[in-house]
Amino acid sequence: MRIIGLTGGSGTGKGTFAALLREKGAGWVDADAVYRTLCAQNREMLAALDAAFGGVLDDTGALDRPKLARIVFSNPEKLQKLNEITLPYIRVASLDAMRAQGDCPFVLYDAPTLFEAGADNLCQCVIGVLADTEVRVQRIMARDGLDEQAARARIGAQPDANFYRARCHYIVENNGDLADLQRQADAIFKDLSKGD
């Protein structure tokens, strides 16, 4: 099974890029979706989060994700603590999901914190999706219903473009239209498929 990392900050368009590669036959595991499933089902992880951050579970025992986000995205130490608790759970569940897609030419591992989590060591190579800050702010506001300040805080809590440029094997610039993104997806898929 070939695992190709896919990473980049919030609002860069990783999901759209992944969808273009999936249309060509690539597998896909979204670390955020894995995390959401764990937040709904993994009582052990939820108890650890509640103990670490205090009162982040709602009346039904589910994680209050907006409340947790407000706590961690404004404090780098708390964000690091969140990652220390959740990343081991996410890694195990992600690998299970990847194994289930073993018939694909490769499986994209879509993970915003791929490098921070050390999950890049699972990957044959890594694709970084980048976009200008103003483009990202508008996308986050439209997608998540956040105000501009909250969108900028989220971006500010994440690595800058140079972080990805220094670590990724492929860089996708996603400031244009869908046709431009499609051209980049086609080229990268063709290059990655050479290994088959």
Length of the chain: 196
For residues 188 and 41, the model is more confident at 188
In a domain, 196, yes or no: no
In a domain, 27, yes or no: yes
In a domain, 195, yes or no: no
Domain count, the chain: 1
In a domain, 160, yes or no: yes
CATH number for position 60: 3.40.50.300
pLDDT of 16 strictly over 80: yes
Compute the distance between CA of residue 82 and CA of residue 112 in angstroms, rounded to an integer: 14
Domain that holds residue 144: 3-190
pLDDT band of residue 65 (cuts 50, 70, 90) is confident
In a domain, 175, yes or no: yes
pLDDT more than 90, % of the chain:
79
In a domain, 71, yes or no: yes
Summarised one tens digit per residue, pLDDT across range 136-167 is 999 999 999 999 999 999 999 899 999 999 99
What is the per-residue pLDDT for 129?
98
pLDDT of 105 strictly over 60: yes
Compute the distance between CA of residue 141 and CA of residue 165 in angstroms, rounded to an integer: 25
